[in-house]
Structure 1
Amino acid sequence: MPQIIRNRTVVDDDWLVVRAAEDGGLPPPDALPAGKVIVPFSYWKAARAELSARGASQVAVWFAPDDEPAEIVDDFGAIALIAIDFPVFRDGRGYSIARLLRERYGYTGEIRAIGDVLRDQLLYMSRCGFDAFAVRADKDIHDALRAFGELTIHYQTGTDEKLPLFRRREATGARL
């Protein structure tokens, strides 16, 4: 079974990410594999009723970099998690999607990074609201886990720290 990092722990992943075939097609909702599936957001929008019938614990959605997170706010209760795809590591739009989901839209469920996810990105992704990471298959997931302990002081704000370092220094009078 594949593994992911969830809440800074390596765990088995029982979700299947559904992607388009080479011809761009996706199976109809009744032909999806049994079990937990993460479907593209465009697919969710087109087949919301059929997918919702599977139950919220069995269906999740993944966003492409150009998808609009505001469009899923009304469906938060109908999905188990939201994944954000990084088709290439240098595409940073997923960071903004995660931050919008957490800070603007108040999403409290799991936000998972999928696709070209590398160790160097994990700490920064977590600061933007990600709490689960499907590290690229050719990378060592246990090595990637060590990324969370490499930096202990952050200058800028994040979903995990609302004040920049200079404001935290002012508040405590301490040198951090």
Structure 2
Amino acid sequence: MGSTSIEALRLHAGGYILDEWRQLPEGQFVDCGTGAGVLGVLLALELPGSRWCLVDARDRRCEMARRAVVAAGLTERVTVEHALVDEMARGEGRGGFDGAVARSFGPVPELAECALPLLKASGSLVVSVSASTAQHWQRMPLATRMGCEISGGWTTPYGSYLAVTRSGPIPPGVPRRRPARNRSPLG
């Protein structure tokens, strides 16, 4: 967290929330590459009926996220998974979430291919973006390769965000295994 105040983090996290997410009484959400769990925990607090799965590949980060979940009193509706997002998207998580968020996950093509298959029909991935990453998302073959499309972009005083929404079926074979993604990135 560094020197960033909790209030500043809360306001930044609030920018990820789509209006339709507030209408889901028991929405299922995933925080991809959660790290210490700050974003997912703050969003779970902002969306009181929601259920969250915080996913990270590093055990130490998962342990920090678990502590954050306990400290926030969210153990009834927030779980922490020590897993790779792409493995989750090829397994039980595939098509299982109303929404997904990611902050500092990694390269845009990697995030798109690993996280978008987690979405249910009409589910959305919301990411924080810079001007250059927003342009990268715009150039991605989302409709043809992922069954998704960019559904919006917005800026608040606390950050810039972009939403990608599932508009078609999850294509078979995605996400590809890491070597294939490295050889031929999605975008």
TM class, shorter-chain normalised?
0.3 to 0.5
Which protein is richer in strand relative to its size?
2
Looking at CA atoms only, which structure, 1 or 2, has the larger radius of gyration? Answer: 1
**TM-score with structure 1 length normalisation?**
0.37
